Each structure stands twice: as C-alpha cells, then as structure tokens.
Amino acid sequence: MVTPNDFRSLADRIEIEALCAHYTDAVMMRDFDRLLSMFTDDAVLRIPDAGIELDGRAEFQTGMRRMQGEWDYFVQHTHPGAIDIDGDTASGRAHICEFGRLRSGTSHLNYAIYHDRYRRTADGWKFTERVYEIRYFDNSPLAGSPPGENGVGVDVSAVQLPR
C-alpha cells in the first residue's frame, strides 16, 4: 500500500531533478535571473579545480555572468544521480557531461559530478550548495564547431525523412 509520505517523497525527488534540469537549461540559455532564482540567499557554488567559489547572491550575480562570458560556446548535459531527502533538506548528485570552446580559443570536454545540497523553501526546492568535481578532463581541440560558424556540415535539404 502506498502512503502519503511515499507520494511526498516521490514529488520531492521529481522537483529536485527538475531543479537540476532547469539549472542546466538556464546555464545554456544564459538566463542569469532564472539561474539566480534557483539558489537560496546563502548558497555556495564551488568549482575547486578552477579555484572558483561564489558565496551568496551578490557574488553569484557577477560571478555567473563572468564565467559564462568566458565561453565562445558551451554545451552541458545533466544526468540524474542519487537523492537523499531528510525533511526539508536533501543532498544529491547530478552527473555532468560538458564541452565547449573558450573565447581564448582553448577547448574543453569533461565529465563531472555536482555534489548538491538542497532546501525546501516557500518557492520550492533550491540549491544551498553545489560543488563541481571533475572526473575526466580533455582540452584537446574540438573537431566540430557550432552551426553557422562553418555551416551545419550536412545539406539538410537533401535529407529524405522516412514516411
């Protein structure tokens, strides 16, 4: 038999996974206002391998824009990981694959894990901490390019779609 607590736990997990998905979407769309809304006022974002630590909204406001401004293009994919809920707080992990090219011309491909802490607020679940741990890093030049830079590489007008 399913209890009301089972439904609450399921809803919490769905909301937390959606928070992680919205984070990736906001980063890729460079939607800084939405990105900031996903964190509590006292939240911390750490990327130890890059020497980055942003504490609170004031630092997020400028830090996120500065970090995103370094990229010529950037693609991030998030895959759900474990989530442990304890009342109005939770911890979890999100598995990341990202690549892109910095404005400096260097390329970047990595697989990483966000180690997260969350808090339930009146506005729903939010991040209180995200710590980015790189598990694999490759800075070899990327072979491809974003569409428009050298075309999409495929003549889509000649592609026959199945009926």
CB neighbour list of residue 32: distance below 8 Å, 6 or more residues apart: 26, 61, 64, 65, 68
Residue 146 has pLDDT above 80, yes or no: no
pLDDT confidence tier of residue 1, bands split at 50, 70 and 90: very low
pLDDT digits over 45-60, tens only? 999 998 999 998 889 8
Instruction: Evaluate if residue 156 carries a pLDDT over 80.
Output: no
pLDDT at 97: 97
Q: Which domains does the chain have, with CATH numbers?
A: 4-144 (3.10.450.50)
Residue 2: band (very low, low, confident or very high) from pLDDT cuts 50, 70, 90: very low
Average of per-residue pLDDT across 50-72: 88
Asked whether residue 117 carries a pLDDT value surpassing 60, the answer given is yes
Contacts of 136 (CB under 8 A, 6+ apart): 110, 111, 112
Residue 160 scores a pLDDT above 90 = no
**pLDDT score at 64:** 87
3-state secondary structure of 49: helix
Q: What is the mean pLDDT of residues 8-18?
A: 94
Mean pLDDT within 149-161: 56
Determine which helix (DSSP H) or strand (DSSP E) holds 79, and give its type and residue range: strand 71-86
- For the chain, helix (H) and strand (E) counts, in that order, are 3, 6
User: Is pLDDT of 83 > 50?
Assistant: yes
pLDDT higher than threshold 70 for residue 109: yes
For residue 5, pLDDT beyond 80? no
What distance in Å separates the CA atoms of residue 104 and residue 70, rounded to the nearest whole number? 8
Backbone phi, psi, residue 153, to 5°: 85, 0
Query: Does 8 score more than 60 pLDDT?
Result: yes
Report which of 9, 77, 70, 22 is spatially closest to residue 39, judged by C-alpha positions: 22
Evaluate the CA torsion angle 39, 63, 25, 30 in order and state its sign: positive
Summary mean pLDDT of the chain: 88
20 is written with which tokens? 């992680």
pLDDT tens, position by position, 23-41: 999 999 989 999 999 999 9
